[in-house]
Amino acid sequence: MTPLPQPFHRIARASAAAFAVLCLLPAHAAPGQARCSQVPEISRQLAQITGLPLRHPVPCRFIDKFQVNAFLKKRLTEDSTPDDIRGEELTLKKFGLVPANYDLAASTVDLLTEQAAAFYDYTARKLFLTDSPSGGSVDTILAHELAHALADQNFHLARYIQRGRQSDDGSSARLSVMEGQATWLMNEYAARRRGQTLFGNPALAASMAGSTDSGAGEFPVFDNAPLYLRRSLMFPYVEGMAFQTAVLERDHLRGFAEVFTDPPVSTQQILHPEKYFAKVVPTAPALPDPGLPRGYKVLVHGELGELEHAILLEQYAGKPQARDIAPHWRGCRFELIENKKLSRVVLAYAVEWDDEQSAASYFTLYRQALATKWQHMTIASETPTRVTGLGDDGRFDLRRDGALVTSVEGTDPAGVR
């Protein structure tokens, strides 16, 4: 599965969440050289490793890149309305995570088409191999995708994803479970061929997870994508595998089933497995009241998790700041509220931190982000806990109240708050 970030991952479910795509793994194969006859034996070995039963054979067939592209476009139009796509695209642009001229739908299809070496479609419950021209190990690719098939036979992946859709961040956590387990099993399969195992060897697991985050230069569409998309695409494989390693270290074989029967609820739990074990759940901070007149309707709403805040901080402040502040995230909500007649979209955003110091640091850095993402910014008033003024899309009001940071962006400059 190639999960996409939230809110970006919402429309990508139309093209990605219905099947599991091998993405940015170090060994890429020419599936035309592969043999579907390998599927039964690899499936048997994965069942033996996990202790999960293989309930029936996995169908396997070839599909070329043109067919992959057509499949993605079809899924996108079937599962997402134009308003869905527009809402997700506007959200990323409002937060300054993609350029103003970014075409989200086209980029989604291009990213996934470029990186599909094989995929397991859990709607059709079939494994597809593509005609990717690059060389490498076919059987490791098969191991990754067959891990999805094994999970699907035991935990019904379509239902698993559907049940997580109440929360953007929770949905991304579930996608990370799927990809993390498949990546772990792929690496365990490869390790056993060398007489090694990841069980009881977290150092080897960490090393192999790190090798997943490679392939620079092989994928030009990915390499030229905004930071947000690149980080979010890699997250389920690298951090998802690290999460699966931590669960297996604590709970042994039952950890393969546990992550599906008792799934993590946030990307924070993926990043910090101890929070998963302790059942630390995100808060839902109250949104600021933008004081809008009649004629406005909510276009899209959701949450940005620790993952998204880490990426936003990295983009606008650098990696050290992201590493220091993002783990203090506690919860977030946002809404885009639109007046079509006025062609105006307002962002209402609230994020809670676990202490006032972290909130104060984030307040300062988010104020810098506003100045960076807009071409023009005029300050009307500024105190240590509130900044107001005008940006590219209208008035803004950024505040901090204790550990809570809120922002309203894009209200009518001529309006009365």
Nearest in space to 183 (alpha carbons), one of 3, 308, 15: 3
Question: Are both 249 and 303 inside the same structural domain?
Answer: no
Each residue's pLDDT tens digit, 160-181? 998 988 888 999 999 999 999 9
User: How do residues 67-88 score in pLDDT, each as one tens digit?
Assistant: 888 877 777 777 677 778 888 8
Residue 357 lies in a domain: yes
Q: How many separate domains does the chain show? A: 2
| Amino acid letter for position 303 | E
Same domain, residue pair 266 and 309: no
Residue 377 resides in a domain: yes
Q: What are 345-391's pLDDT values in tens digits?
A: 999 999 999 999 999 999 999 999 999 999 999 999 999 999 999 99
Shared domain check, 245 and 129: yes
Query: Does residue 32 sit in the same domain as residue 169?
Result: yes
CA-to-CA distance for 30 and 105, rounded, in angstroms? 27
Q: Are residues 97 and 223 in the same domain?
A: yes
The mean per-residue pLDDT over the stretch 318-325 comes to 97
Residue that wins the pLDDT comparison between 52 and 121: 52
Provide the CATH number for the domain around residue 367: 3.40.1000
Residues 250 and 133 in one domain: yes
One domain for residues 252 and 330: no
The helix/strand/coil state of 404 is strand
Q: 55 and 160 in one domain? A: yes
Q: Are residues 66 and 126 in the same domain?
A: yes
**Which among 247, 277, 307 is the end of a domain?**
277
Same domain, yes or no: 183 and 309: no
Q: Quick one: 68 and 199 in the same domain?
A: yes
| 317 shares its domain with 352 | yes
For the beta carbon of residue 211, count every other beta carbon within 10 angstroms.
14
What confidence tens digit (pLDDT) does each residue in 261-308 have?
A: 999 999 999 999 999 999 999 999 999 999 999 999 999 999 999 999
- At residue 176, the pLDDT reads 97
Predicted confidence (pLDDT) per residue in 36-67, tens digit = 889 999 999 999 999 999 999 999 988 887 88
On whether residue 282 sits in a domain, the answer given is no
**Which residue segment(s) compose the domain that 341 sits in?**
297-411
pTM of the shown model = 0.90
- Please report, for residues 193, 219, 246, 384, the alpha-carbon distance to residue 200 in angstroms, rounded to integers and kept in the order given: 17, 34, 10, 50
